[in-house]
Amino acid sequence: MKLRILGCSGGIGGALHTTSFLLDNDVLIDAGTGVGSLSFSEMLEIDHVFLTHSHLDHISSIPFLVDSVGYLRKLPLTIHAIPETIDALKKHIFNDVIWPDFSLIPSAGNPYMRYQQIEIGETRELDGRKITTIPANHTVPAVGYHLDSGQGSIAFSGDTTTNDAFWDAVNRISNLKHLIVETAFSNSELEIAKLSKHLCPSMLLEELKKFRKNIPVHITHLKPGEMSVIMQEIEQGTAGERPRMLTNGQVFEF
């Protein structure tokens, strides 16, 4: 399996895009503004979108993606998400006010997109590739993902704050090769990090004490303008191999 980072910022500006990862050529993990850097033919190849949660920075490209390529697709684009995320998309985005309901266009029998509910802890297998939701703790119902090729795995926290269940889940993955975990704020914004159910470096360092694997840790969702402060604060508190910043265009093979 190959995972290409299309967006891994907490915001936009210049080369910064919000969360979206391309798994092989046909699966998106979240669909933030990073999707906009794909070519038209690359967008046409996407059959599945797995969402972590309903926040705009993780879903903003779905309406444009469906509208751009829908009429050329043979099968609907499948949106995999927990029930609360699907409800939010139906109610607040594809509601015929903000955007058309493409789950009924051009017809209910053969629409441009469809929803497929996934539960926490459930595994979906696509051509031998296993995609499993793992627990997250955020202001809205949310999940992270475990991507398993059989040879190796990557785990992604999604948006989360402190959460023992996440660390229990990743500690159980025997072939885990990389961990991608969010740190949205700097330490000066500890209170905002707690209120918005994200992490800041001091919180991350406490969380990493629960992690029992010695593998590379990649930091995502950094607030634009605070990237170097956040990474410095993480590095100052880490001995041994230090977490590194996830970067746009980075590719993982596993």
In the complex, what is the shortest distance from the CB of residue 52 to Zn ion, in angstroms, rounded to a whole number?
8
Instruction: Give the integer Cα–Cα distance in Å for 164 and 194.
Output: 15
In the complex, what is the shortest distance from the CB of residue 58 to Zn ion, in angstroms, rounded to a whole number?
6
Residue 55 or 146: which CB sits closer to Zn ion? 55
Q: Shortest CA distance to 229 belongs to which of 183, 170, 168, 180?
A: 183
Residue 80 or 221: which CB sits closer to Zn ion? 221
In the complex, what is the shortest distance from the CB of residue 191 to Zn ion, in angstroms, rounded to a whole number?
17
In the complex, what is the shortest distance from the CB of residue 206 to Zn ion, in angstroms, rounded to a whole number?
20
In the complex, what is the shortest distance from the CB of residue 61 to Zn ion, in angstroms, rounded to a whole number?
13
Q: How many CB atoms lie within 10 A of CB 241?
A: 10
In the complex, what is the shortest distance from the CB of residue 6 to Zn ion, in angstroms, rounded to a whole number?
14
The contact set with Zn ion (CB under 5 A) reads: 55, 57, 159
Residue 105 or 180: which CB sits closer to Zn ion? 180
Q: How many CB atoms lie within 10 A of CB 91?
A: 11
Token pair 């990862």 in the structure block, residue: 21
DSSP assignments along 130-152, one per residue: EEEEEE---SSS-EEEEEE-SS-
Residue 55 or 80: which CB sits closer to Zn ion? 55
Peptide bond into 111 cis (omega under 30): no
Residue 88 or 234: which CB sits closer to Zn ion? 88
Number of H helices, E strands in the chain: 8, 14
Kindly state the tokens that stand for 233.
């604060």
Q: What angle do CA 133, 8, 125 make, to 5 degrees?
A: 25
Q: Where are the beta strands (DSSP E) in the chain?
A: 2-7, 20-23, 27-29, 48-50, 77-81, 113-117, 123-126, 129-135, 143-148, 153-156, 176-182, 217-220, 244-245, 251-253
Residue 178 or 198: which CB sits closer to Zn ion? 198
